[in-house]
Amino acid sequence: MNRIKKFTKNNPQLTLLILLIIIFSILMPAFRGKNNIINILKQSTTISIISYGVALVVIGGNLDLSVGALLSLTLGLSISMSMHNVALAILVPLGFAIVVGFVNGYIVGRFRVNSIILTLGMMSVINGIVQTYRKGNIVIGMFGGAYQAITDAKVFGIPSYIVVYISIAILYQFILTRTVYGRQLILMGTNRDAAEIAGINIRKVTIISFVICGVSVAVASILMGARLLQGSTNTGAGLEFDALTAILIGGVSIEGGKGNILNAMIGVFLLAVIINGLTLLNVPFAWRNVAKGLMILLAILTEQFLRTRNA
């Protein structure tokens, strides 16, 4: 009994997730169906990969709000490049994402600007670029080509995209907890001035975190493009807030320095299970943002409450 108490105290988010899964499974037979579980995993591919990237940035004490707009950009690029060559469909979005990540990271690292406001501006710039060059049109990919094969591939019977996002989670978790870079990132998120005095190259660490975030978005958009073969100019709108909601309710602190990729993963599944449960309970679509906003507010409130209690 004591061990359960200790577990719930140390992992409040995971406990909540398990509780919700149990409650929903008892209440709704449709929830525990195999198809629904696969559906939840499938639908959370994009948001998972993006959340892991954003989580790294947030742990470093910054925030990237341009990921949604970046996804719209790289998704369109990937699909239109897939008409020529699959390699281009992978490399071009990655290239653009690295550039955007670098610019974000450089400005934040070099000029110490507020990353939230900066990436809000970047979001506007990228949205403008996407709308200008696509003029509001939808890009449609070719059916049955080599591009689509990216998602049809299976590893040991598991769809490739699920394999990709789980391996990305493991990779990022490794980077964060087992490498020098990861420690520097956590220290920078906890106390930027102390990190600077300790001789950490703030500029480099910041840039790398934003570039990893950009690359995550590009990977997510390639998988999404190959699966849906279709992208509009605002496919990514709102994704930045979904990713933020997920990592905050998973237990990554918005103040930086606290949390890891496992937290982000739990957050994504919490969000997915709650939204899925709301859908199965026939709650109208309009209530979704109400739930998300409340979850963000509750997450930061509980985190603050726990911190003051422990302190």
From the list 40-48, 87-95, 273-281, 295-303, the region that binds another protein by CB under 8 A is: 295-303
Q: How far apart are CA 156 and CA 98, in angstroms?
A: 31
**Residue 239 near residue 47 (C-beta atoms within 8 A):** yes
From the list 29-37, 72-80, 127-135, 157-165, the region that binds another protein by CB under 8 A is: 127-135
CB-based contacts of 43: which residues, under 8 Å, 6+ apart?
272
Closest of 239, 294, 290 to residue 268, by C-alpha: 239
Residues 118, 139, 150, 215: which binds another protein (CB under 8 A)? 118
Nearer to another protein, 73 or 168 (CB): 73
Which backbone phi and psi does 284 adopt, to 5 degrees?
Answer: -55, 150
Q: Count residues near another protein (CB under 8 A).
A: 43
Nearer to another protein, 95 or 121 (CB): 121
Q: How far apart are CA 234 and CA 264, in angstroms?
A: 24
Strand partners for 159: 154
Nearer to another protein, 83 or 120 (CB): 120
Nearer to another protein, 38 or 125 (CB): 125
Residues 47, 55, 57, 122: which binds another protein (CB under 8 A)? 122
Nearer to another protein, 233 or 276 (CB): 233
Closest of 119, 102, 118 to residue 210, by C-alpha: 102
Closest of 299, 308, 183 to residue 247, by C-alpha: 299
132 belongs to the binding site for another protein (CB under 8 A): yes
Give min distance, CB of 193 to another protein, in A.
Answer: 12
Closest of 48, 44, 73, 85 to residue 216, by C-alpha: 48
Q: How far apart are CA 102 and CA 61, in angstroms?
A: 17
51 belongs to the binding site for another protein (CB under 8 A): no
**Residue 257 near residue 58 (C-beta atoms within 8 A):** no
137 belongs to the binding site for another protein (CB under 8 A): no
From the list 44-52, 129-137, 146-154, 200-208, the region that binds another protein by CB under 8 A is: 129-137
Phi-psi region of 251 (alpha: psi -120 to 50; beta: other; left: phi over 0): left
Closest of 206, 247, 48, 29 to residue 118, by C-alpha: 206
Residues 121, 190, 228, 280: which binds another protein (CB under 8 A)? 121
127 belongs to the binding site for another protein (CB under 8 A): yes
Residues 116, 140, 155, 306: which binds another protein (CB under 8 A)? 116
**For the residues of 67-92, what is the DSSP string, one character each?**
HHHHHHHHHHHHHHHTTT-HHHHHHH
From the list 25-33, 109-117, 178-186, 218-226, the region that binds another protein by CB under 8 A is: 109-117
From the list 151-159, 198-206, 224-232, 285-293, the region that binds another protein by CB under 8 A is: 285-293
Nearer to another protein, 169 or 240 (CB): 240
Residues 45, 48, 78, 245: which binds another protein (CB under 8 A)? 245
Distance of alpha carbon 307 from its chain centroid, rounded? 25
Site for another protein in 180-239 (CB under 8 A): none
Residues found near another protein in the complex (CB under 8 A): 107, 111-114, 116-118, 120-129, 131-132, 241, 244-245, 248, 254-255, 284-294, 296-297, 300-301, 304, 308
